Amino acid sequence: MEGILKSRGHEIVKNVDEAQVVIIDTCGFIESAKRESIEEILDFVNYKKKHDLFLCVKGCLVQRYYDQLRSEIPEVDAWYGVLAPSQIADAIEKKEPFLVTQPETVYSDTVRNCKGSFAYVKIADGCNRSCTFCAIPSFKGDFKSRSFQTIEMEVRNLVQNGVKEIILVAQDTTAYGIDLYQKPSLDLLLERLNVMDGQFKIRVLYLHPDHIDEKIIKTILSLEKVVPYFDIPVQHGSDKILKKMGRYRTSRELLDLIEQIRDINPDSAIRTSIIVGFPGETDEDFEELICFLKKARFDRLGAFIYSEEEGTMASLIEEKVPTHVAQERYEEVLLLQSQISYERLERFVGRNLITLIEGRRKNKYIGRSHLDSPEIDGNVFVEKTRKISVPGYYKVHITNVSEYDLEGILL
């Protein structure tokens, strides 16, 4: 949206005091995200009392709770649901007070205003799956892919602007192409992006554990530009809970999948997400999860406390887990993972890792290797022994390790 607004002659300002229009993008996925979005809106409602500006709120939260929001926060000037960025830009220019239709999750716009070292590129959105804890399909609509050509144009534009890492996202990247090309086509997309000009890498997020297959694994591990990083949100390790979540693979099958990846490339980074406190999760189920995590030894892990979302099947299950129990389980998972993460990272000490150096802090450069997705994983801290151009890829000799990060020197 920034890219589109800029191409139409608008200016993006860093300081809100200079802005005539404020656009708040929201998330309506889980309780904590909804709360954060609403706090942000209320802050700007307060700010607006003393400043003349057009306050516009867009995104998933609006798509999900439009009527309620509009009647409870009338100070907001405009509410826009999940729409293509160009539609939102049109609406803002016309100062339309509301625009909430069927979700428009994918679009052909490719102009970006991204100057950083990495950029997320949406390859599809929406979802046709039915995980019982998840409300996303109800407000994002059906799964829709963007075309190969649109994605290529966007990636070319980003790489020409200096972006070094392209991060492909969708609710479920394994389903890419099912609607447009009648078959899962993530492998074909990766092959096309891999032969594009420029020094950049590609990372794929959100590989659905029930649908990642040998073809995708081998493609990711064989293409030069694609980093060996697998983000596979398994959500649990007890077969009973996996079934209640609407997931098909058993814990044994998930362990086999991890082994299959590590057999081909033992240095692959495998990340997952876990939900604790799902309704009906007993002490035994939680023990099974802990046991599963000890066997799987994920390199990276994000843990979440179950968030009850209205309209989902899981919200109808009566055996709720008390909040304090879920909190204790959450802390136990994080503690276990901090040990596993340290042990997994230790194997890189004394070895060289290609690292994308992205910034400087005092006497260190800060970067990420293939093990690190931005914002959620760790970093590589590098001694500043000489001047280098940033961002850029450099070979780093790893000398030290902490729970989630690595340290090293430039070669």
What would the two tokens of residue 70 be?
Answer: 């509009």
Q: Name the DSSP class of 109.
A: -
Q: How far is CA 321 from CA 102, 293, 302, in A?
A: 35, 21, 20
Q: Is 384 in the site for ligand SF4 (CB under 6 A)?
A: no
Binding residues for ligand SF4 restricted to 59-78, rule: CB under 6 A:
none
172 part of the interface to ligand SF4, by CB under 6 A: yes
| CA dist., res. 6 & res. 183, Å (int) | 36
**Shortest approach of ligand SF4 to residue 212 CB, angstroms?**
12
Pick 141 or 367: Cβ nearer ligand SF4 = 141
Q: Are 202 and 239 in contact (CB under 8 A)?
A: no
Measured at the alpha carbon of residue 27, what is the angle toward residues 21 and 29, in degrees to the nearest 5? Answer: 165
Nearer Cβ to ligand SF4 (24/169): 169
Based on the number of CB atoms within 10 Å of its own CB, is 275 exposed (0-12), middle (13-18) or buried (19 or more)? Answer: buried
Please state whether the peptide bond connecting residue 97 to the residue before it is cis, i.e. omega within 30 degrees of 0: no
Q: Of 171 and 355, which CB lies nearer to ligand SF4 in the complex structure?
A: 171
Closer to ligand SF4 by CB, 171 or 369: give it.
171
Helix 283-296 vs helix 251-264: crossing angle, to nearest 10: 10
From the CB of 271, what's the least distance to ligand SF4, in Å?
Answer: 15
Applying the rule CB under 6 A, the residues between 269 and 328 that interact with ligand SF4 are: none
Among 10, 48, 129, 262, binds ligand SF4 (CB under 6 A): 129
Q: Identify the residue among 37, 87, 171, 238 touching ligand SF4 (CB under 6 A).
A: 171
The minimum distance between CB 370 and ligand SF4, in angstroms, equals 24
Does 353 sit near ligand SF4 (CB under 6 A)?
A: no
Q: How many residues does the chain have?
A: 411
Tell me which residue has tokens 């990420």.
Answer: 368
- Answer for which of 38, 89, 131, 226 binds ligand SF4 (CB under 6 A) is 131
Distance linking the first and last C-alpha atoms of the chain: 40
Stretch that binds ligand SF4, among 111-119, 132-140, 150-158, 364-372 (CB under 6 A): 132-140
Helix, strand, coil proportions of the chain in percent (round to 5)?
35, 20, 40
Nearer to ligand SF4, 105 or 268 (CB): 105
Interface with ligand SF4 in residues 99-128 (CB under 6 A): 127
85, 103, 137, 184: residue in contact with ligand SF4 (rule CB under 6 A): 137
Q: Which is nearer to ligand SF4, 246 or 280 (CB)?
A: 246
The footprint of ligand SF4 on this chain (CB under 6 A) covers a number of residues equal to 9
As given in the structure block, the two tokens for residue 196 are: 């594009």
* Residue 113 Cβ vs ligand SF4, minimum distance, rounded to whole Å: 27
The residue range among 76-84, 130-138, 281-289, 349-357 that interacts with ligand SF4, by the rule CB under 6 A, is: 130-138
- The CB-side HSE value for 71 (13 A sphere, CA atoms) comes to 3
Report strand pairing: 380-383 vs 364-368.
Answer: antiparallel
Which tokens sit at 324?
């304090």
CB of residue 277 to ligand SF4, shortest distance in Å: 16
| Nearest in space to 251 (alpha carbons), one of 284, 198, 291, 214 | 291
Smallest distance, ligand SF4 to C-beta of residue 136, A: 4
Closest CA to 148 of 191, 105, 197, 85: 191
Tell me how far, at minimum, the Cβ of 67 lies from ligand SF4, in Å.
23
Residue 134 sits in the site that holds ligand SF4 (CB under 6 A): yes
Cβ of residue 146: shortest distance to ligand SF4, in angstroms? 17
Residues of span 176-215 touching ligand SF4 by CB under 6 A = 208
Q: What angle do CA 169, 65, 80 make, to 5 degrees?
A: 65
Binding site for ligand SF4 (CB under 6 A): 127, 129, 131, 134, 136-137, 171-172, 208
